[in-house]
């Protein structure tokens, strides 16, 4: 009998790579965080493109390139193609990060991922990329590494600091809006995959929730791109008009902050809208938004269990219930990595050590996400994002977002008035 060669799944490789990055930081190899913030051309050349900052970018490139190569080796992928493709993706991603760092762009709260996606889409739709190039793009690997690193920012001690009212509101909003959004999607006969990503994006924390859910269910990248486009497009008018609506309704700063923090999907837009109202509104909106962000890991965990179980039932001809072994085999292991990292940084690693490495790890987390979205753009046809069949998810998103705004306002009035 032939012995089967041992092969690591992508999820376990992600966990190994994520922990390797964290281990390097803990052992003192901390990659400096580059700055991408600039106001004018003078600051762009003297600050962003300064020698020290370029060295920081090069250090980040060296680390992520080495990790990507190690991932390709462990997964037995085409290493020759990766050696060419990854630096190309990195340079395009740097362009996106520099664009997003402009002060004017920041005022509109346009995140780097939307520029990464846009740049990739423009290239893939204006030029015909060879198949070997597209095959070397490891979108899921990059997303999942970013999600494992996301665990370093979900500290359980901080959850308690968020305040009981903020946590209560976050829990009520997330549960009610998620189930309503999912119900609307299913009523409109939208597939489960899109329904889960859309529901999480509306109810929890926008882009991060959509990414986490897509990773948990191994979702289609085109659907993920579409959901994120909806989140970012709707966040801008909400950020601009909701503070004025709150003023017209004569809401207190506390209620307004709770309403903004629970309704607007992106953290940057929450901060911007809260700032328009006042200091107290900014504080409350940030607390509420942070509380919702904290629930991301818990939500991703339960979505993973639900998706794994439902897929197992489908694949097992629905005659017998799937075994625990089957569910474990199909469970996304990177979620285990996320939870393990969160527990490690919450209860094991000293706060002093965390403060020394958190900026570096958070920067790397954002870089992996941006690399993933550049890759998504490069492998996506722009027309696919706005096809006729995408109208139903759009309607579902608008209906769910309207419900989110109304329910959050009622809960904010009940808790913070």
Q: How many domains does the chain have?
A: 1
Tell whether the model's pLDDT for residue 321 goes beyond 60: no
Tokens found for residue 175: 């549960």
Residue 26 exposed, middle or buried by CB count within 10 Å (0-12, 13-18, 19+)? middle
Give the model's pLDDT for residue 317: 41
Residue 211 lies in a domain: yes
DSSP character string of 295-320: HHHHHHHHHHHHHHHHHHHHHTTTTS
pLDDT in tens, 350-403: 989 999 999 999 999 889 988 988 888 888 766 655 655 568 888 999 999 999
Residue 171 lies in a domain: yes
| Residue corresponding to tokens 């991932």 | 71
Is-contact 203 399, C-beta < 8 A? no
Helix 139-150 vs helix 351-378: crossing angle, to nearest 10: 160
pLDDT in tens, 153-164: 766 665 565 567
Is-contact 193 215, C-beta < 8 A? no
Distance CA 77, CA 349 (A): 34
Residue 4 lies in a domain: no
Give the model's pLDDT for residue 15: 92
pLDDT in tens, 75-91: 988 899 999 999 999 99
Residue 17 lies in a domain: yes
DSSP class of 322: P
Beta bridge partners, 38, equal 102
Q: What is the pTM of this model?
A: 0.72
pLDDT in tens, 46-69: 999 999 999 999 999 999 999 999
Residue 169 binned pLDDT confidence (cut-offs 50, 70, 90): confident
Tell whether the model's pLDDT for residue 36 goes beyond 80: yes
Tell whether the model's pLDDT for residue 319 goes beyond 80: no
Q: Which domain does 178 fall in, by range?
A: 10-416
Residue 140 lies in a domain: yes
DSSP class of 192: H
When pLDDT is averaged across residues 211-219 and rounded to a whole number, the result is 76
Distance CA 313, CA 319 (A): 8
pLDDT in tens, 90-142: 999 999 999 999 988 887 767 787 788 889 889 988 888 898 998 899 887 89
Distance CA 268, CA 271 (A): 5
Residue 371 lies in a domain: yes
Among residues 296, 367, 369, 306, which one has the least CA distance to residue 332? 306
Residue 214 lies in a domain: yes
Is-contact 214 373, C-beta < 8 A? no
Between 399 and 217, residue with greater pLDDT: 399
Distance CA 338, CA 15 (A): 8
When pLDDT is averaged across residues 182-198 and rounded to a whole number, the result is 90
Between 257 and 147, residue with greater pLDDT: 257
Is-contact 341 149, C-beta < 8 A? yes
Tokens found for residue 165: 């009212």
Tokens found for residue 417: 């008035």
Residue partners of 153: CB distance under 8 A and separation at least 6 = 358, 362, 365
Number of H helices, E strands in the chain: 21, 0
Q: Interior CA angle at 83 toward 81 and 87, to 5°? A: 115
Among residues 194, 195, 199, which one has the least CA distance to residue 221? 194
Residue 209 lies in a domain: yes
């Amino acid at each position: 009998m032939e012995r089967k060669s041992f092969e690591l799944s992508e999820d376990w490789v992600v966990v190994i790579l994520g922990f390797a990055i964290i281990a390097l930081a803990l052992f003192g190899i901390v990659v400096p965080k580059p700055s991408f913030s600039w106001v004018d051309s003078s600051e762009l050349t003297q600050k962003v493109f300064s020698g020290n900052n370029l060295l920081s970018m090069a250090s980040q490139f060296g680390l992520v390139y080495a990790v990507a190569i190690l991932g390709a080796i462990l997964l037995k992928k085409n290493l020759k193609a990766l050696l060419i493709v990854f630096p190309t993706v990195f340079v395009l991603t740097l362009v996106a990060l520099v664009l997003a760092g402009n002060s004017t762009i920041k005022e509109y709260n346009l995140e780097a991922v939307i520029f990464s996606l846009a740049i990739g889409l423009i290239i893939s739709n204006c030029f015909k990329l060879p198949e070997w190039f597209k095959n070397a793009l490891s979108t899921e690997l990059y997303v999942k590494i970013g999600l494992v690193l996301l665990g370093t920012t979900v500290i359980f001690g901080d959850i308690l600091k968020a305040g009981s009212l903020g946590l209560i509101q976050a829990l009520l909003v997330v549960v009610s809006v998620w189930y309503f959004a999912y119900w609307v999607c299913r009523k409109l006969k939208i597939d489960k995959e899109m329904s889960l990503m859309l529901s999480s994006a509306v109810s929890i924390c926008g882009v991060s929730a959509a990414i986490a859910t897509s990773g948990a269910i191994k979702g289609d990248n085109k659907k993920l791109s579409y959901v994120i486009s909806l989140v970012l497009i709707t966040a801008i008018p909400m950020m601009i008009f909701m503070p004025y609506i709150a003023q017209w309704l004569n809401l207190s700063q506390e209620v307004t902050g709770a309403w903004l923090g629970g309704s607007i999907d992106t953290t940057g837009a929450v901060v911007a809208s809260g700032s328009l109202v006042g200091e107290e509104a900014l504080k409350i909106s940030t607390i509420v938004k942070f509380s919702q962000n904290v629930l991301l890991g818990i939500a991703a965990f339960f979505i993973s269990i639900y998706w794994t179980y439902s897929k197992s039932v489908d694949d097992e001809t629905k005659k017998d219930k799937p075994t625990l072994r089957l569910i474990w085999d199909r469970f996304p292991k990177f979620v285990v990595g996320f939870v393990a990292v969160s527990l490690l940084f919450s209860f094991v690693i000293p706060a002093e050590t965390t403060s020394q490495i958190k900026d570096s790890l958070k920067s790397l987390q954002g870089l992996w996400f941006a690399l993933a979205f550049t890759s998504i753009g490069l492998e996506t046809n722009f027309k696919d994002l706005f096809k006729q069949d995408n109208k139903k998810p759009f309607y579902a998103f608008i209906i769910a977002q309207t419900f989110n705004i109304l329910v959050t306002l009622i809960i904010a009035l009940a808790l913070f008035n």
